[in-house]
Structure 1
Amino acid sequence: MAGLQAGAPTPTALTVHNQSRVLEIDFSDGASFRIPLELMRVYSPSAEVQGHGPGQEVLQTGKRNVTLQELEAVGNYAVKPVFSDGHESGIFSWDYLYHLGADQDSLWAEYQRRLQAAGVDRDAPMVQAGGHACGSH
């Protein structure tokens, strides 16, 4: 399971900064990241965002000002954020948070590319797709 690999870095400190909208996280290998909450939200590992397979991702928009209402521990391997827009189905393992922090420049670039390809602004309101009922959200 992700986040439980032997020797993988684990968090030593985790601080939510809702005013600046970042999650500050320090890892046992000395790495330290300030992950924008918007980045976490648009790359949530939930099926609602990622879909159920390649090509089923749902482009997230209007998340620039999202904050965290809650951050629940999930065992010793992850956290489950509750975002201010109501999204709460993503479980962020330690290795996924490390990935978001370490690769945020390339993830932002990919997000910008996807927005441009869709002809949508990052601040556009989300358009709700109708009829999807997979039961995993």
Structure 2
Amino acid sequence: MHVSDQKAWPTEIRLKNDKKTLFVSFDSCETHEYSAEYLRVCSPSAEVQGHNPSQKKTIPGKIDVGIMKIEPVGNYAVRIHFDDLHNTGIYTWNYFLELAHDKDKHWGVYVKELEEKGLTRER
């Protein structure tokens, strides 16, 4: 079954006190940990992803980004407000699972793009 075909439902969304780590537990008994940096650079927003693959942006300098707040969007997603003032990404439950299941792929692409463009994770 493909991740996007799943009907994931969160049972807990918890932000660590340092505002740098988000934990999401699902009714499938999965719990995943996401760094704020990973969520920020993989934001599903058009600002980051573009409207097609050629418009995708590589976002550097987010190693220290934090999460200010999380707000529900209907019953299918949340909007994450980052301390760099980015807040346009809508993170669906299935997108959280995709980010968890394909983390090595997403992170690998990100790090490779940074290197190719002469960018860094640091500010």
Q: TM-score, normalised by structure 2?
A: 0.90
Runs of 4+ in 1 over 2 A off after TM superposition: none
Q: How many pairs align? A: 121
How much has 1:18 moved relative to structure 2? 4.6
Determine helix, strand or coil for the equivalent of 1:48. Answer: helix
Unaligned runs of 5+ in 2: none
Residues of 1 paired with 2:19 and 2:92: CA distance? 23
Identity of aligned residues (%): 37
What residue in structure 2 maps to residue 129 of structure 1?
none
- The code of the aligned residue for 1:71 comes to I
Instruction: Provide the rounded CA distance (Å) in 2 between the counterparts of 1:86 and 1:121.
Output: 20
SS at match of 1:55: helix
Q: CA RMSD in A?
A: 1.8
Check conservation: 1:18, 1:67, Cα contact below 8 A. no
1:66 aligned counterpart, secondary structure: coil
Partner Cα distance (1:118, 1:44) in 2 = 19
Q: Match of 1:30? A: 29
TM-score with structure 1 setting the length: 0.82
Distance 1:18 1:104, change over 3 A: farther
Between Structure 1 and Structure 2, the one with more helix by share is 2
CA contact (8 A) 1:78 1:92 kept: yes
Structure 1: runs of 5+ lacking an equivalent = 125-137
Whichever of the two has the greater Rg, that structure is 1
The one-letter code matched in structure 1 to 2:113 is R
